[in-house]
Structure 1
Amino acid sequence: MSSSSRMKRIWERMRGNARRAMLLYSNREERGEAQRKSLPPGQRPQDILAVLLLTVGVAVVAFDAPTYPWLNSLPNEYRIAFRSFTDLGKADWILVSTGIPCLFLLALDGGRYAFRIRMAIGAVFTYAAFIFYSVAASGIVVLVLKWCLGRARPKLYEEVGPVHFDFLALNGKYTSFPSGHSTTVAALATALYFIFPAYRWLIVVSAFWLAFSRVMAGAHYPSDVIAGTLLGITFTFFTVRAMARRRIGFHIAENGNIVPNMTYVSAKASARAVWQVLRGQRGADRIMPGRTVTGEAD
């Protein structure tokens, strides 16, 4: 088979898999409507907006003005230390590390593989696509907001003060609010929070320091970080809730909590199967009627 024919075949397979994924989501709309429940207090859009207005307002009044002088009073080693890891909040490495696996898995003929392998492929694709979408979509929203609002960055503190806005300035020096890094960190952390519930506290604490590093690095005011964090959390929460109502990757438990469909036992079994295939200890293909395959069957 020529390389052009092979690429065309892979492209057609990717289109077919993407179409089936979209149909899977849309065909579960009825199930999603059946599981639709009124959001509890604290999770409704108006409640989230109230929290945003309160926390950002308090931060602007109480924390933004004294932050810049306080940072200048600290030894420069503090700023250097936080700058060394603050770029982990950039979206590019997250989008690449989740987008490429999704493209690769779309090109696979998933139906030919054994049950545990198919389960692993489905889980990796679903959760990687969830992270990719949450980070990319919330990132687009925050980019539009920050370039439209035009808040001056802390480096302009001595020139214009901490609450200067120049709407539609379209200047990188006026893109402080909200913090894009904090939005990305919050979106990623919220997604991981739901995917790996056993590691929630570690994820939350790590995300806090990554978001706070934007203040310590002198790139944003506290209110910028708070607004970006709330934006990332909110966007990802409503995304995972929409998926859970359709039982795509997640489901809503009887107590109302959103939990991943793949349990620890299933994840361990799928990972073991993939590892055995990679080591050549079992075959990857499923057993079809009338066909003999070497290797361990599911």
Structure 2
Amino acid sequence: MSIGRRALVLELLRKLPARSVGNLQKTIAIARSRFARRPANYSRMPWLTLVVAYLLLTAASMVFLDGIAVSWRDRWPNGLVAVANGFTSFGLGGWYLIPPLVLFVPANLLDWQALSRRWRMVAYNWTCFAFFVLSAAGLSGLTVTVLKHVFGRSRPVLDMGLFSFRPFEFDPYFASFPSGHATNMGMLAAVVILLSPAWGKYVVLPITVWVAATRIAVGAHYPSDTIAGFGLGMACTVVTALVFARLGFIFRQTAAGLPIRKKTFRLSAAWRKPAGSTPTPVLAAANP
């Protein structure tokens, strides 16, 4: 490397810390400004009905399904248990916390002003997406961790009974309810459903339900633990999306129902040929 090129690289590296701090300060300023300017007109959701249905389903599962799952614990087919063991690790939180954190590093070091409008929009959308996943995973993960210690339910492997609870035990063997893996799967399902309803409902939802159910087959949780966790993950993600919609990140606000993805949210740049002209690179609008 020539001396001039080396000096240029060193100069760029010297500017990175200041650029990182500056980008972070600008991001915080934008969020604070939008919170201040935009009223808290969150979309109306039938939260009470959903929470009551969620609690009733969890309670019914605890009464009618948990005992059946325990009686079947030693009778699951070996092949099913082996497959479940292979899939269950996809419910670990690291899969959904580490990638967005890693993505923030280059995003926070970008010289945004040097980017073209098209690529600045792509970088902006990727940053918003990473922040959304990180926020949803962080909120659901924190909530389920607190609830695990509050309830202190014993895991099936201890054979202490279906209703053995030791609140604030702070022991992993008494952290069965709700399931953390299932919470992560509920979060993932909700993220994809909000961003791409067709893929979310018909592809990702069945897969995430299966991964959550593997916690039963491997003997780590009762069915009620997984149902409670899955619903919790979905709820935390919807709450996160409502806040993002208020800020105008990724989603737009609606009077009622789930937030809707903005047409400008696109994770890739596309080439579009305007009528009667040569191909010009532009940021394609996303499907609603």
- TM-score w.r.t. the length of structure 1 is 0.81
- SS of 2:74's partner is helix
Decide whether the 8 Å contact of 2:42 with 2:255 is kept in 1: no
Out of 128, 145, 155, the residue aligned to residue 143 of structure 1 is: 145
Alignment partner, residue 72 of structure 1: 74
Once the two structures are superposed, residues 183-209 of structure 1 have per-residue CA deviations (whole angstroms, 9 ceiling, x without a partner) of 111112211221223412212111111
Separation in 2, partners of 1:237, 1:20 = 26
Once the two structures are superposed, residues 233-284 of structure 1 have per-residue CA deviations (whole angstroms, 9 ceiling, x without a partner) of 11110110111123211113577552222458x555x1569xxxxxxxxxxx
Is 1:10 aligned to 2:16, yes or no?
yes
- How many residue pairs were aligned? 268
Alignment partner, residue 285 of structure 1: none
Change (3 A) 1:129 1:179: same
Deviation at 1:297, TM superposition (A): 7.2
Deviation at 1:9, TM superposition (A): 2.4
Alignment gaps of 5+ in structure 1: 274-295
Alignment partner, residue 102 of structure 2: 100
Change (3 A) 1:34 1:217: closer
Alignment partner, residue 276 of structure 2: none
Alignment partner, residue 244 of structure 1: 245
Alignment partner, residue 222 of structure 2: 221
RMSD: 2.4
Once the two structures are superposed, residues 79-132 of structure 1 have per-residue CA deviations (whole angstroms, 9 ceiling, x without a partner) of 111111110010112211111011211110112111111111011110111001
Change (3 A) 1:167 1:16: same
User: Bigger shift: 145-154 or 123-132?
Assistant: 145-154
Q: Which amino acid aligns with 1:13?
A: R
User: Bigger shift: 217-226 or 69-78?
Assistant: 69-78
Change (3 A) 1:79 1:19: same
Decide whether the 8 Å contact of 1:31 with 1:246 is kept in 2: no
Change (3 A) 1:271 1:219: farther
Is 1:199 aligned to 2:199, yes or no?
yes
Separation in 1, partners of 2:87, 2:241 = 28
Alignment partner, residue 161 of structure 1: 161
Alignment gaps of 5+ in structure 2: 1-6, 273-279, 283-288
- Over the matched positions of the two proteins, sequence identity in percent amounts to 27
Deviation at 1:147, TM superposition (A): 2.4
Q: Which amino acid aligns with 1:167?
A: P
Matched ranges for 1:123-134 at <5 A: 123-134=125-136
Separation in 1, partners of 2:18, 2:249 = 24
Separation in 1, partners of 2:212, 2:154 = 19
Separation in 1, partners of 2:135, 2:271 = 28
Decide whether the 8 Å contact of 1:120 with 1:271 is kept in 2: no
User: Bigger shift: 191-200 or 166-175?
Assistant: 191-200
Separation in 1, partners of 2:39, 2:216 = 42
Once the two structures are superposed, residues 115-162 of structure 1 have per-residue CA deviations (whole angstroms, 9 ceiling, x without a partner) of 1111110111101110011112211221122123211101012xx112
- SS of 1:84's partner is helix
Q: Which amino acid aligns with 2:23?
A: N
- TM-score w.r.t. the length of structure 2 is 0.84
User: Bigger shift: 194-203 or 111-120?
Assistant: 194-203
